Structure 1
Amino acid sequence: MKKDQVILFDTTLRDGEQTPGVNLNENDKVKIALRLEKLGIDIIEAGFAAASPGDAKAVRAVAEAVHKPLVVSLARTNKNDIDEVVKAFKGITNVGIHIFIATSPIHRERKLGMTKQEVVDKAVESVAYASQFFDHIEFSCEDSTRTELEFLREISEKVIEAGATVLNFPDTVGYTTPEEYTELFQYILNHTRGIEKVILSCHCHDDLGLALSNSIAAMKAGALQIEGCINGIGERAGNVALEEVAALIETRSEHYQRKTGINLKEIAKTSNLVSRLTGISIPPNKAVVGGNAYAHSSGIHQDGVIKDKSTYEILKPESVGFSETKLVLGKLSGRHALKKRYEELGYHVDDQQLKEIFTKYKELTDRKKEIFDNDIIALLESEQPNEGTNYLSFQDVSLQVLNNKQYRAFVNINGKDQQVIEGIAKGNGPIDAIFNAIDTLINLDVELVDYKITSVSQGKDSLGEVFVKVSSGNSIFQGRGMDVDIIVASTTAYIDAINRIINVSETNEKVINGYEVKTT
């Protein structure tokens, strides 16, 4: 194997399944294993054969399903565990075993109740026994980062002599730092007899958020194998996320001078499958595969990405299997992002239109958490010029609930020269009261014919669009209003209908009580 090639060992089906609440059945494991094979994983740890007959069956099913990756099963340092692995893999080639025992003082004394010599003897005995059946034998010193370096050297030399082909030094509780982990691997490389016969491996947990940093430190110090899980799942805070390892090595290949066999374009599919089958959702801010990993909401960022994606993206979403960069429209988005989204939706917006729409857009973002395509389409359509003049425009509205289950509405409307006029009226409901209040301001005979509310987009804070039909004389007029607040939308819809009536009215004066309006 080339020294610049990093072996990726996936333990999603074993350590990942130890995530609280996760229980993968045989079919689930096979589905994930086949996806890991497409991803380009080198070694798949399919489970713990001795744990249960079901786990042993699943381990075998995975080994039968995949062809390229090496498949291994975990085993403790006892003959029964090893026999269960042998039985599970009987008749199948390209398989191996992963044997472990704890080596740190706290584990030796408090968990195992064993001396150093007893731990060494047990390890050597088990590795020697497994060597009768397997060419690939990985040996792990559980909790190695809290183990004396001299003892790690001692047990490493003995298991190498017994037939181990891979030495794994797990940071089982996520305790170490990159500097300390580097020191561990350098010490083993420089002081262990027979070290040239084996591959060094790291296995990092993320209890202190250092799993990725520690894995890369181990790689730089001489580890040729990195173990982890898809999406970083696993015991407690989880394992290092293998998709992050692969993406980092690929993105910074000139710096690390390393490579993997991973097909990055399969990352998104693999991540989504693991998430779905384990029931563990991917945090939106998760590196590489999170929903926000390639989303930009800041206006400054969006402007940069529109001009050149590399301004704010070091990893292309397409390179890891996602469709495209997302410009998330929100309160921090700028005009460039809004105009680009209109263009993507097939709408042409000139600079003047954009200026007018953007004002309403910013008002909307102050009241709505997420802006959808239908929201901005509705804003654009609401800006389309209507025939005639808008004599009246909405100022504000408030409601009072009365003891007799009626409502009192207070409606302020801007009239000529932005003069504010107020209408007050009661009604059997909030909308009835509002419309009655508006009626007090006009010298027109208006009757509501139809009233309809629709949701423009999705979510509880969706824009509501209200359509009203009113009759005046022998004609029917339609008005429309739109707002997050359905009361405001209803008010503006009724005012819109009144404006349309005024525009075609043959009466040139006093269509509004106490307020002179002249039609053109």
Structure 2
Amino acid sequence: MNYKKYKKFETVKLKDRTWPDNEIVKAPIWCSVDLRDGNQALITPMKIEEKVEMFQLLVDLGFKEIEVGFPSSSQIEYDFLRLLIDENLIPDDVTVQVLTQAREHLIRRTFESLKGLDKAIVHIYNSTSILQRDVVFGKGKEEIKKIAVEGTKLVKELSQEFEGKVILEYSPESFTGTEVDYALEICEAVMDTWGATPDNKVIINLPSTVEMDTPNVYADQIEWMCKNFKDRERVIVSLHPHNDRGCGVATTELGLLAGADRVEGTLFGNGERTGNVDVITLALNMYTHGIDPELELSQMNHIKAIYEKDTKMEVPPRHPYAGQLVFTAFSGSHQDAINKGMHAYHERGQELWEVPYLPIDPADLNRQYEPIVRINSQSGKGGVAFVMDTVFGYQLPKALQADFAKAIQNISETEGEVSPERIYDTFKKEYIDNETPYKFIKQRLIDISDEGEYERRAEVTIEDRGVMKTLVGYGNGPIDAVKNAFNSQEDFLYTELINYSEHALTAGSSAKAAAYIQLRPKGSAVCEYGVGVHPDITTATIKAMISAMNRIHKYMKKEG
């Protein structure tokens, strides 16, 4: 790789920059270019009905300026705009924008397409960069400036004949490869020709047509332009960043810090080469800082579905905010932190969203909590516990979390990702439906507090290797009495209670309780958990105790 064939483009040296100390405090003017930049970047451009559906989506999302196409470039572009106008599909609060090169016949054809509108943005452009002046046009600076000025004169002339209001937008295309003083000279000439005033502003769009440098350099260019316009109040400074270096979002954010008022971009960053700037990511970045993005993005799956249907493009699974996996954690430490953070957020009734690894609440995008944690061989006990809690309602004790996570990891190392359903089925098999060698049949607890030193008498009927037995025990509570009933039998392992917990699984008349019992055989280091589920908490506890004993027998049999 011969890196010496490349060189850095020399740009403005801004010594008194102020943008690093600024903050984004409000949303910019948004302009969607999905129907123009986005559409021309598709392998198969959208059909008219698809463009109509996309236009309606953009309106629903809250875009007030939408570039609908390049109507002078093709009949389908022309017909699409005419359909929007003739079918009265453009809301009163939405302004459509049309693009055209600064060439006479294209400008005239563009105005033909606009008939019947009460307002429109006419966006003219010509390339101004050093490279394109040299190798594409073979023209000098004055000749290039003349193209922009003559195009502006014609738009002004035709706008006087137009029944509605025309807002002029001008782009020195390939601005990032243009000397800033020359770009300023052309833009000032355009504004003077138009007669721009604070009440009749011109949109000056400063595109990063090709992203040529780090985002801070673009910010310097934007701040230099904003400081050097002879009358900043007659200008709406617009950004149109591309993503050649993969920095489109950062470039735009820094451009806003540098003083820009407006952003042109696309949903999910669709555009030429590596794409335009991604408006959804930009807007939601603002949202996570407590700023109203002034776009309605709460139905993210719906937005993504229409986008993918009409563009035939797919949103990558790790795309910010919208990707299938962006609210998914496989790492065990991440899962544990998310689990604890979610519990803390709900238990404390916090107003501010603060959950580790989740900069935004998935529910704000109408996405679900259940898919946040997915389980594979990299997952830990926190992730498994989160699935069992949020999906199935089981609040596993810590020791049980660790024990059960090992079983799931063994499965994932062989099979890959483990679904919630598989996790639950494994849990039931290991801890609930564990009936060998002992199977619970029924129980009876009797209050004997008036008869002697014990408060409870437990009568527990079980099936022991196919033989029915009723065990009797005494204790100061149900758990103590049942444990003593088992320990009183010579052929049973004498066990000690290590941990016990319980909670309700569901609400209502059919509510069930889950009980967790950890037992240890006397004189042994083996500890096993059992789980019982039943509408009656005492029965659930007894079932959990029997399950734990069965697991101890299984372990000791395995160990010989």
| TM over 0.5, shorter chain | yes
Within the candidate set 190, 199, 216, 1:159 is matched to 190
> Is the 8 Å Cα contact of residues 205 and 238 (structure 1) preserved in structure 2?
yes
The superposition leaves residues 454-485 of structure 1 with CA deviations (integer Å, 9 ceiling, x where unpaired) of xxxxxxxxxxxxxxxxxxxxxxxxxxxxxxxx
Q: Give a deviation string over 1:2-23, Cα, whole Å, max 9, x none.
A: 9945111111111111224141
Task: Note if contact 1:39-1:266 (Cα within 8 Å) is conserved in structure 2.
Answer: no
Structure 1 segment 160-175 matched on structure 2, within 5 A: 160-163=191-194, 165-175=202-212
Aligned to 1:312: 357
- Which residue does 2:140 correspond to in 1? 115
1:140 lines up with 2:171 in the alignment: yes
Q: Mean alpha-carbon deviation: is it higher for 130-139 or for 206-215?
A: 130-139
SS state at 1:73 partner = strand
Deviation at residue 348 of structure 1 after TM alignment: 4.1
Give the distance between the partners of 2:49 and 2:326, measured in 1 at CA. Answer: 30
Kept in 2, the 8 Å contact 1:39–1:267? The answer is no
User: Residue 81 of structure 1: CA displacement?
Assistant: 1.6
Residue 102 of structure 1 deviates from its aligned partner by 0.2
Residue of 366, 381, 386 corresponding to 2:413: 366
Range 335-344 or range 24-33, more displaced: 335-344
Q: Identify the match of residue 43 of structure 1 among 59, 65, 69.
A: 65
Tell me how far apart the structure 1 counterparts of residues 256 and 292 of structure 2 sit (CA, whole Å): 11
CA drift of 1:259 comes to 4.9
Aligned to 1:193: 230
Q: Check the 8 A contact 1:243/1:267 in 2, yes or no.
A: no
Partner of 2:262: 225
Aligned partners of 2:34 and 2:266 also within 8 Å:
yes
User: Is the 2:27–2:286 contact (alpha carbons within 8 Å) kept by the matching residues of 1?
Assistant: no
1:180 corresponds in structure 2 to 217
Secondary structure of 1:262's partner? coil
> For residue 98 of structure 1, what is the aligned residue in structure 2?
123
| Conserved? CA contact 2:121–2:166, under 8 Å | yes
The one of 367, 388, 402 equivalent to 1:342 is 388
Cα 1:304–1:25 change in 2 (3 A) is same
Amino acid at match of 1:158: A
In structure 1, the partner of 2:241 is: 204
Matched, 1:53 2:102: no
For structure 1, which runs of at least 5 residues remain unmatched after alignment?
390-516
Q: Distance in 1 between matches of 2:217 and 2:401?
A: 56
Distance 1:346 1:184 in 2: 55
Q: Does 1:293 align with 2:326?
A: yes
Residues 473-484 of structure 1 correspond to what in structure 2 (within 5 A)? none
Question: Given the alignment, which residue of 147, 150, 159 partners 2:181?
Answer: 150
Matches within 5 A, 1:119-518: 119-131=144-156, 132-133=158-159, 134-163=165-194, 165-253=202-290, 259-309=292-342, 310-324=355-369, 326-346=372-392, 348=394, 351=397, 357-383=404-430, 384-388=433-437
C-alpha distance in 2, partners of 1:272/1:307? 32
Corresponding residue for residue 104 of structure 2: 79
- Which stretch shows the higher mean deviation, 363-372 or 230-239? 363-372
Q: CA deviation at 1:158?
A: 0.6
**Contact residue 31 and residue 265 of structure 2 kept, 8 A:** yes
Q: 1:334 to 1:5 in 2, by over 3 A?
A: closer
Question: For 1:210 and 1:356, how far apart are their aligned partners in 2?
Answer: 45
* Structure 2 residue ranges without an equivalent (≥5): 1-23, 160-164, 197-201, 343-354, 439-556
Kindly indicate whether the alpha-carbon contact (under 8 Å) linking 1:38 and 1:266 is maintained by their aligned counterparts in 2: no
Distance 1:5 1:304 in 2: 32
In structure 2, distance between residues paired with 1:117 and 1:14: 30
Equivalences, count: 386
Q: Encode CA deviations 1:291-341: one digit per residue, 9 max, x unaligned.
A: 122112222222222222422211111223323361112222222332332
Correspondence list, 1:14-29, <5 A: 14-29=36-51
Q: Report the Cα distance in structure 2 between the residues aligned to 1:366 and 1:195, rounded to whole angstroms.
A: 62
Worse-superposed segment, 322-331 or 72-81: 322-331
Shift of 1:349: 7.0
Deviation at 1:143, TM superposition (A): 0.5
How many Å separate the matches in 2 of 1:261 and 1:354? Answer: 43
**Shift in Å at residue 114 of structure 1?**
2.3
The question of whether the paired residues in 2 share the 8 Å contact of 1:8 and 1:260 is answered with: no
Deviation, structure 1 residue 199? 0.1
CA drift of 1:260 comes to: 3.5
Deviations 1:145-200 (A, max 9, x none): 11011111110111111226100111111113222212212222222223321100
User: What secondary structure does 1:145 align onto?
Assistant: helix
Give the % identical residues. 24
Deviation at 1:232, TM superposition (A): 0.6
Instruction: For residues 423-463 of structure 1, give each alpha carbon's deviation from its aligned partner in whole angstroms, at most 9, with x where no partner exists.
Output: xxxxxxxxxxxxxxxxxxxxxxxxxxxxxxxxxxxxxxxxx
Q: What's the secondary structure of 2:250's corresponding residue? A: helix
Aligned equivalents of 2:254, 2:402: Cα separation in 1: 51
Contact 1:299/1:333, CA 8 A, preserved across alignment: yes
Match of 1:8 in 2: 30
**CA root-mean-square deviation:** 2.5
SS at match of 1:23: coil
String of CA shifts for 1:469-510, please: whole Å, max 9, x gaps. Answer: xxxxxxxxxxxxxxxxxxxxxxxxxxxxxxxxxxxxxxxxxx
Using the TM superposition, give the Cα deviation of residue 355 of structure 1 relative to its aligned residue in structure 2, in angstroms.
Answer: 5.4
Counterparts in 2 of 1:350 and 1:317: CA distance versus 1, 3 Å: closer
Deviation at 1:239, TM superposition (A): 0.8
- Give TM-score, length-normalised by structure 2: 0.65
Counterpart Cα distance in 2 of 1:328 and 1:350: 17
Contact 1:177 1:210 in 2 (8 A): yes
